[in-house]
A and B are shown apart, each in its own frame.
Chain A
Amino acid sequence: MIFNSLTFLVFLTLIVIFYWLLPSQKLRIFLIFFSSLTFYGFWRVEFIPVMLFSVVLDYFICLRLEKASLEPARKKLVFLSLIGNLGLLFYFKYLIFFSNTAIGFASLIGIDLDPIALKIILPLGISFYTFQTISYTIDVYRRVIQAERNFLLYASYVTFFPQLVAGPILRGREVMHQLRDKLVFHTSDLAWGLRRVFFGLFLKVILADNIAPLVDSGFAISISQMSAIDVWTLSFLFGFQIYFDFSAYSHIAIGSARMLGIRFPENFNFPYASSSPRDFWKRWHISLSSWIRDYLYLPLAGISLKQGGNSEGGLVSAITQTTKDKALIATWAIMGLWHGANWTFVIWGLYHAIWIFAYRIFQKKEIN
């Protein structure tokens, strides 16, 4: 089921009505969980077990993690979670890409190998829900949150349909307490949510979908016939298309959740009004940028986190600039790969790493 369909509007209306009619929070969580599975199942039922594997794995690992007191045992459990989740992601998203790359390298040194004849379908939203379960496990490991004992509540947090397939990537501490508490119906929440849903749909169906044909026809022109002005125009057009498209999804997700009384953090904040590359990444796909910063960049740079578990809680830093720079490059290459199993995405990531690196140098000079 996709957001820009009448089916979704009917589905959302029914869920909102039943949700507020239910007398207890237990029943509401039950409704959220099964409606989320239904939402996902509309696409492909056979991939529900894949998602549930990730959910169940981290549920039990976190329960064990909370009981374990010895650091090596705790680290082993986190490692197990990473192997399970990233293994799943690797198989579905990267196996063919890396095997084809390896075959390409082998042919360069004169070894001819046959390409793997696998046809793997990428489960919808796998990149998002695996990141969400990983963040939950790491937060439990860092003792930022406690492991949730109520399986349905935890599973609802991961599979919650508004954010399931394209984010925002939610942290446990942002949402789980809202699912736990019995929320009171406010017409203002319903009206606010509905406005966001329609605004999101407007961005998608009126703006993004009408820019798309221009972008498609532009990229169909052969490079030799393309002028520099065409390249600029295409990059701007696609930049706006992806912004309207993706922010539309976030608007609809935030609005749908709000209609159920649940508040999501904002995912975009006028990114094209950014005054620097670093500023851009504080405004574009905020939930992913902050995820990457807290769970990838800071650990890679060797920067530990104080109380609070995120960089807002303060940083303990005695790290060399070289380590930070290496971490920056590695983080952006991984960020690129997260977006897609293609070298173009790695280049996209490295392009941003270069500009952020350049901005760091410029900023230092300006401060000095």
Chain B
Amino acid sequence: MDICLPYFSKKRDKLNFTTPAFIGIVITLPIMMLGWIPFRAPDLETTFLMWMKVFDISAYSSLGMRENAYLIAFLLVIMQFSSKGIYTFSQKYLRGRSIALPIEFFLLIIIIPFVLIYLRPITQFIYFQF
């Protein structure tokens, strides 16, 4: 309510009100994500057809991919929103404190074996093609 009321109030200009960051993020994220379609699509025709699908209401009634794809995409969005919070929290409350070292050590103990197990020079980095 604190956010909405001044926005619709006549005194909005006097309060020097701007769009809250959270609304900006919620609008920007899907716009930026849709922008990756031409980056990955094989040609212009595919790009425009995929973009047109987004505006086709009747195309929202089916699912064509494997089930876990939707779940993973959803989890990644959640992870994305929480990662900024976790980073800010760690910088604010853990940095320079004695508890930071064991936490970091614990994380590295998990990360390093995983990396060494899965380390395979099979896939190039995407930006290598540029």
Residue contact A206 to B115, C-beta cutoff 8 Å: yes
Residue contact B46 to A223, C-beta cutoff 8 Å: yes
Task: Please tell me if B91 contacts chain A, counting CB pairs below 8 Å.
Answer: no
Task: Please tell me if B130 contacts chain A, counting CB pairs below 8 Å.
Answer: yes
Chain A 208-237 interface mask (CB, 8 Å, partner B; 1/0): 110110110111010101111111111111
- Chain A interface, DSSP helix/strand/loop, else mixed: helix
Listed stretches A101-109, A301-309, A345-353; interface member: A345-353
Residue contact B36 to A345, C-beta cutoff 8 Å: no
Residue contact B125 to A344, C-beta cutoff 8 Å: no
Number of interface residues of B (CB under 8 A): 70
Listed stretches A1-9, A18-26, A174-182; interface member: A1-9
Given A237-B73, A279-B28, A345-B39, do A227 and B53 touch, yes or no (CB 8 Å)? yes
Specify which chain B residues have a CB less than 8 angstroms from the CB of A4 in the assembled complex. Answer: 119-121, 123, 125
Task: Please tell me if A53 contacts chain B, counting CB pairs below 8 Å.
Answer: no
Task: Please tell me if A90 contacts chain B, counting CB pairs below 8 Å.
Answer: no
Cα of A202 to Cα of B111 in the assembled complex, Å: 7
Task: Please tell me if B100 contacts chain A, counting CB pairs below 8 Å.
Answer: no
Chain A 35-47 interface mask (CB, 8 Å, partner B; 1/0): 0000000000000
The listed residue (A127, A166, A344) touching B47 by CB distance below 8 A is A344
Interface residues of B (CB under 8 A from A): 18-19, 21-22, 24-25, 28-44, 46-47, 49-51, 53-54, 56, 59-66, 68-70, 72-73, 76-77, 80-81, 83-84, 87, 104, 108, 111-112, 114-115, 118-130
Interface residues of A (CB under 8 A from B): 2-7, 9, 122, 124-125, 127-128, 165-167, 195, 198-199, 201-202, 204-206, 208-209, 211-212, 214-215, 217-219, 221, 223, 225-242, 245-246, 248-249, 270-277, 279-280, 338-340, 343-345, 347-348, 351-352, 355, 366
A sample of 16 cross-chain residue pairs with beta-carbon separation below 8 angstroms, ordered by A number, consists of A165-B128, A166-B127, A166-B128, A201-B119, A217-B65, A219-B41, A227-B60, A230-B53, A230-B63, A231-B51, A232-B30, A233-B73, A234-B37, A236-B73, A272-B29, A355-B35
Q: A234-B40, A245-B125, A246-B125 are in contact. List 15 more A-B contacts (CB 8 A).
A: A4-B120, A4-B123, A7-B121, A165-B128, A198-B108, A209-B118, A221-B65, A227-B53, A229-B63, A231-B51, A232-B30, A242-B36, A272-B29, A275-B21, A344-B44
